[in-house]
Amino acid sequence: MSGNYLLRNATTTNGEVRDVVIESGLVVGKAATGMGHEEIDCKGLVVLPGFVDLHTHLREPGFEQSETVASGSRSAAAGGYTAIHAMANTFPVADTAGVVEQIARLGEDAGLVFVQPIGAVTVGLKGEQLAELGAMAQSKARVRMFSDDGNCVHDPALMRRALEYVKAFGGVVAQHAQEPRLTVNAQMNEGPLATKLGLGGWPKVAEEAIIARDLMITELTSSRLHVCHVSTAGSVELIRQAKARGINVSAEVTPHHLLLTEDLASGYDPLYKVNPPLRTTADVEALREGLIDGTIDVIATDHAPHPKESKDTDWASAAFGMVGLETAYSVAQQVLIDSGKSNFERLGAVMSSNAAAISGLDQQGKYLSPGVAANLTLVDPKDSWDPKPQTLSMSENNPFTGLKMQGRVRHTIYNGEFSYRDFSIVQRVGI
Ligand SMILES: [Zn+2]
């Protein structure tokens, strides 16, 4: 049973200050009398569509010492998310209807955020034979997005077949663009700093060559491609040109690639080791520009929890990846709002509605029209805070620790109920 709420004096994305009414899980135009609405003072808070993450590693099944669907859901709710997409590189791999349904069920049990499984493109992420894409699409988990993330679908014939296959049900292939032959022993961005540090270089062309190829195959098949974690200026330019030519492509950028650079590798702290690697200031600027001008559609976290022992080691042996669900909003605000270069409408699009559209989630990414499911996030743009390494995630590999951040999620409302309220998780009883 859902409650009734009256969010007093919230600021909308176009700057209007108004009350938002929620009744039985839905946004409604006007409060009905005698419904006993609980009033919440939202003065100074901006109300946004609940955030949707297209790229979350939840680690369950198989790697529950790093994260579970439940702990990742708590971290997501605290970050303002009402929907997350669970990447397929679990153990077993999410390459069958059975595994994707299991993950969806674990998400329902946790009850804090909508967990949409992503299906693997190839069996076991091995890049050899197509997984049962149709069975996953028809399963109760209703998978529309497929990815071998962590691995690149590097065989062009297989990529072509996957793109052809997903057209039947309006699906999309999300590519982790990394030419494996160009990244053997790669550890960080290729360039003078990698040479100086004695770490294997990761050339930009390893990403760009795959994106260029996939754009051509997408055009050939008239299918739909999503490019994961774009990290270079050249990739942004390729996607910009492809969109201008009418190729059906969308792209994501991570919070860390929008804020951090390869210079952080200088201290050999594996906290900053990530795939694709942190790049140069010029790349960061191009990514920001692409996000603002619409070339890049979404900010996706690539939240990648790892246990302490995988990060408390030397650079070369450490795992790739960083967590990011709880800090993504603050990075988005810094890049889009505090920079003076964009606005809250664009922020709502890149954090929510564009992602919902790419993945076909019709209960998400909607805004304040009467009758839509109340999936909303309320943020305080003036709140400054210091992210801590220990978060609601089970892992502490947080590269934003020690940075002063501005703008913070205050409340998250999932299907009409608070999942996160005044900086605390609200665990619903009986779910
Ligand atoms: Zn990836």
Distance 54 CA to ligand 1 centre (A): 11
Query: Which pLDDT score, from 0 to 100, does residue 35 have?
Result: 80
Tell me the catalytic residues: 302
Decide if 81 contacts 68 (C-beta within 8 A).
Answer: no
Domain ranges of the chain: 50-359
Distance 57 CA to ligand 1 centre (A): 10
Q: What is the mean pLDDT of the chain?
A: 96
Comparing 92 with 36, which gets the higher pLDDT?
92
Taking the C-alpha atoms of residue 181 and residue 189, their distance in angstroms, rounded to an integer, is 15
Taking the C-alpha atoms of residue 103 and residue 408, their distance in angstroms, rounded to an integer, is 29
Q: How would residue 31 be classed by pLDDT, with cut points 50, 70 and 90? A: confident
Taking the C-alpha atoms of residue 395 and residue 247, their distance in angstroms, rounded to an integer, is 38
Distance 249 CA to ligand 1 centre (A): 17
Query: Which pLDDT score, from 0 to 100, does residue 429 have?
Result: 60
**Is pLDDT at 34 greater than 90 in this prediction?**
no
State the residue for tokens 């929890």. Answer: 305
**Is pLDDT at 1 greater than 60 in this prediction?**
no
pLDDT in tens, 117-126: 999 999 999 9
For residue 303, which of 23, 53, 123, 101 has the smallest C-alpha distance?
53
**Is pLDDT at 91 greater than 70 in this prediction?**
yes
**Is pLDDT at 163 greater than 80 in this prediction?**
yes
Query: Which pLDDT score, from 0 to 100, does residue 333 have?
Result: 98
Distance 321 CA to ligand 1 centre (A): 9
Rounded to the nearest 10 degrees, what angle do helices 281-293 and 233-244 cross at?
30
Query: Which pLDDT score, from 0 to 100, does residue 33 have?
Result: 80
184 CB-contact burial (10 Å; exposed 0-12 / middle 13-18 / buried 19+)? exposed
Distance 127 CA to ligand 1 centre (A): 15
pLDDT in tens, 272-327: 999 999 999 999 999 999 999 999 999 999 999 898 999 989 999 999 999 999 99
**Is pLDDT at 192 greater than 50 in this prediction?**
yes
Q: Could you tell me the CA-to-CA distances from 146 to 171, 238, 305 in Å, in that order? A: 8, 22, 21
Query: Which pLDDT score, from 0 to 100, does residue 3 have?
Result: 87
Query: Which pLDDT score, from 0 to 100, does residue 288 have?
Result: 98
Least confident range from 55-59, 211-215, 391-395: namely 391-395
Distance 221 CA to ligand 1 centre (A): 23
| pTM, rounded to two decimals | 0.97
**Is pLDDT at 152 greater than 90 in this prediction?**
yes
Distance 89 CA to ligand 1 centre (A): 10
Distance 151 CA to ligand 1 centre (A): 7
**Domain 50-359, what fold?**
TIM Barrel (3.20.20)
Rounded to the nearest 10 degrees, what angle do helices 156-166 and 205-221 cross at?
50
Comparing 394 with 343, which gets the higher pLDDT?
343
Distance 229 CA to ligand 1 centre (A): 7
Taking the C-alpha atoms of residue 55 and residue 83, their distance in angstroms, rounded to an integer, is 11
Distance 365 CA to ligand 1 centre (A): 23
Q: What is the mean pLDDT of residues 332-355?
A: 98
Distance 380 CA to ligand 1 centre (A): 31
Q: How would residue 30 be classed by pLDDT, with cut points 50, 70 and 90? A: confident
Q: How would residue 156 be classed by pLDDT, with cut points 50, 70 and 90? A: very high
Distance 56 CA to ligand 1 centre (A): 10
Taking the C-alpha atoms of residue 264 and residue 271, their distance in angstroms, rounded to an integer, is 9
Distance 206 CA to ligand 1 centre (A): 13
Distance 149 CA to ligand 1 centre (A): 4
**Is pLDDT at 106 greater than 90 in this prediction?**
yes
Decide if 425 contacts 74 (C-beta within 8 A).
Answer: yes
Q: Which two tokens stand for residue 377?
A: 């996030």
Taking the C-alpha atoms of residue 248 and residue 218, their distance in angstroms, rounded to an integer, is 7
Distance 256 CA to ligand 1 centre (A): 13
